[in-house]
Amino acid sequence: MGGTFVSGDPVATPLATTPEDTSAQRRVMNVFMIVDTSGSMSGAKIGSVNQAIRETLPELANVQRIQPGVEIRLALMSFNSAAKWITPLPEPVDRTTFVNFSAGGGTNAALAFDLLSDKLSRKAFMNAVGGHYAPLILFLSDGESSGGWESKLDKLRANRWYQCATRVAIAAGKEATTPEAMRLFKEFTENSEMIIYADEPDKIKSFIVLVSVHASKWNSSHATPGAVGGNAAAANTGGSAPNPIAQDMQNKTPDWWKDLKNKVTFPALPPIN
């Protein structure tokens, strides 16, 4: 998980014929934000997300500036009744122009997982010549998804980049703490400790900024470069993915998260009936 440096593609597939990114051949830290923009996110919630991204960009640019040889890139996806990449490619944070999300429609996480699976490849978003630190995937939603997401998540779990990524879920509001919504978050993170409850809109903003900045700073400064065979991406070599409900809390919790929780007290999840 966090702190892993991946020198090549964990899937070990041939390179695509499309050009690779050779910008200074720096090691890249990709931050993926997968944001629920359904109608229930309208108003204060989506406003908090928009403000969070505007505040996160200069913070991440500062992390990049003080760590030579590191490039932090942001990949934004919105999902509601449809899903789309807001950034056609992950964009360097010091050159990203963000246009506010708007909210409307239903909630279909299956489409989001499908899009993410397609881009976690050296043929797509993970093509930096200088290699990649383990990416951060931040998933935010405020309620239950329509059906069919389980099979798409199973496909995503087979992706080695996903396996070595740090995955955090933000449950935005009490509607996001129903048993079905929490099942999705647990399946996504495979570790319930990595689910954050944002019980108020201003905390949505605070937690997006905190997690994005802290994970990027830690991963890109504490990781040690290594061969593909010696990192977390190669640890799970095949077979079915573990059941996150049965094996809850048995997956590794990254050091950056432990460090952050020593500094910040997050709201406790409310009882789930």
Give the DSSP letter string of 248-266. Answer: TT-SPPPHHHHHHHTT-PP
**Any domain includes 110:** yes
State the total domains in the chain.
1
Least confident of 20-34, 83-97, 161-175: 20-34
**Any domain includes 270:** no
Q: Do residues 2 and 256 make contact, with C-beta atoms less than 8 angstroms apart?
A: yes
**Residue 273 pLDDT class (50, 70, 90 cuts):** low
- Report which of residues 40 and 235 the model is more confident about: 40
**Any domain includes 217:** yes
What pLDDT, on a 0 to 100 scale, did the predictor assign at position 45?
96
Helix 179-189, helix 149-157: angle, nearest 10: 20
What pLDDT, on a 0 to 100 scale, did the predictor assign at position 270?
78
Domain that holds residue 53: 5-10+27-261
- Token pair belonging to 264: 């910040």
- Report which of residues 175 and 237 the model is more confident about: 175
Q: Dump pLDDT digits (tens) for 152-199.
A: 999 999 999 999 899 999 999 999 999 999 999 999 999 989 999 999
What pLDDT, on a 0 to 100 scale, did the predictor assign at position 223?
55
Segment 249-263 shows an average pLDDT of: 77
Cβ neighbour number for residue 215 with a 10 Å cutoff: 25
Q: Do residues 62 and 52 make contact, with C-beta atoms less than 8 angstroms apart?
A: no
**Any domain includes 60:** yes
Element containing residue 79 per DSSP (H, E)? strand 70-79
**Any domain includes 16:** no
Segment 91-109 shows an average pLDDT of: 95
What pLDDT, on a 0 to 100 scale, did the predictor assign at position 152?
97
DSSP tag of 43? T
For the cut 50, the answer to whether the pLDDT of residue 15 exceeds it is no
**Any domain includes 179:** yes
Q: Do residues 160 and 117 make contact, with C-beta atoms less than 8 angstroms apart?
A: no
What pLDDT, on a 0 to 100 scale, did the predictor assign at position 67?
85
- Whichever domain contains 236, its CATH number is 3.40.50.410
- Report which of residues 227 and 113 the model is more confident about: 113
**Any domain includes 273:** no
**Any domain includes 19:** no
Q: Dump pLDDT digits (tens) for 103-120.
A: 999 999 999 999 999 999
